[in-house]
A and B are shown apart, each in its own frame.
Chain A
Amino acid sequence: MRGRVTARAPVKASDTLHFALRAATAYPLRTTLMMLAMAIGVAAVVVLTALGEGARRYVINEFSALGSNLVIVLPGRSQTGGFSPINAITNTPRDLTLEDAQALARLPMVKRTAPIAVGTSEAVWRGRLRDVTIVGTTPDYARMRRLEIAQGRFLPEEAPHAAVAVIGAKLQSELFGAEPAVGQILRLGDRRVRVVGVLAPFGQGLGMNVDEIVIIPAAVAQAMFNSNTLFRILIEASEREALGAAKTAAEALLKMRHDGEEDVTVITQDAVLTTFDRILSALTYGVAAIAAVSLAVAGILVMNVMLVAVTQRTAEIGLLKALGAESRTIRRAFLAEAALLSLVGAVAGFLLGEMGAWALRSFLPMLPAQAPIWAIVASLFTALATGLTFGMLPARRAAQLDPVTALMRH
């Protein structure tokens, strides 16, 4: 007999909402529990995605510290697809040399290059001794890495073989204390260098703490380590658009210089950034999904609580039917109640989550924890959808109650 064509249920939406609101506020404990479950779910999504997004931004900031239009050359081939045993035996990779760096600098789309030789040694001044990382490079390095000089100057352009050094801020305070470092003679291993400059505090960058390094001319470093090879060559393209061309040209040039062997790896900073970005975004999605599980749990709680509500209010449902409420009116009233509780719970959870993200930012200032908009929208939407979905069964059960039996229950 059901399903005949009838007029729209005449109850106004505002009345349904008001009725649901009165019902929700009439059972404060039940309402609070349900909203709490929803709030925890949404807060979990907000905090966890904020954390993931914070980590992503942290890594990207670290890479941006490298400077933008950079191409990095590494010795050895790490990106070739095929590996043949014959290659492994015969292919002895040639070193990256200072001459390679100079040749690269002459390429048309290259603005400048900086060779990097890295080693460790001990630095001694007036009996104070400290193990340090030594970076051998050229004056362009400061411009490419955007290093700032606090005292003195950077490596001199005019004397690539001078025994001079520029030291990090932390090293300066640890080794020299309050005394001026510029002009002092520092012993590095068995060599003596004159300190010509001190870097401004910089912090961590690409796996090195710049505050604790000693920068000396590349030629001096190679002589010190008794090695011709370079750790990296940094290439700065003339503009961002030339990055790809610079990379291709660098690869071709080095292949030619290395007797036709592709024995270096050339990467752009973009590629590194994109990879990290992808990994960390995936991580953020992952934790969002895990947090969403708690939303599903909240949904099941919503269903249980609403089922209890239907049982509690059976007589009331019977009465509404006797007063002429159609099934859909009752279904809507219960759905509205579930939606209302979910939505208020979700908004509370959003505020809670934002507070959590704020606390994270306060305690870990380096980590810019901020939930992405998509996560906030998705969690609010999911909460509402969950409430409605899990509210469906109780609402339908209420709507289908037989009025005579329902009225006898009180």
Chain B
Amino acid sequence: MTGPRQDPDLIRPYVRTGGRTRPSQDVRLESLVFAATGTVQGLGPDARRVLALFTPSQGGGLAVADIAATLALPPSATRILVADLMDQGLLTAPTAAEPERPAASLMERVLDGLRALA
């Protein structure tokens, strides 16, 4: 698997994502996703690899970054793939994505959590 034809870097991210450059919904690198039930028909190879990652998850979740790092996919393309899988009901978010400006309460929770570790 070391030949140049297998090098994922040689495939442009937009080729992997059907020409799209932005995710269909607000999916960020830190967004968490969990496996869900949905129709698995008609998925591309990258989407199938993403879903296969969750086979041993036992209900656990992954960040979009984890998927990109583990499958050696470009993070920009991974956001789009994950958004598509969420659209198809195959992956699900734990909560709605945060609004553009992070709420003060989340910062407070982070601060309390960090202080508890110190």
On whether the two chains bind one another, the answer is no
Give B contacts to A, CB under 8 Å. Answer: none
Give A contacts to B, CB under 8 Å. Answer: none
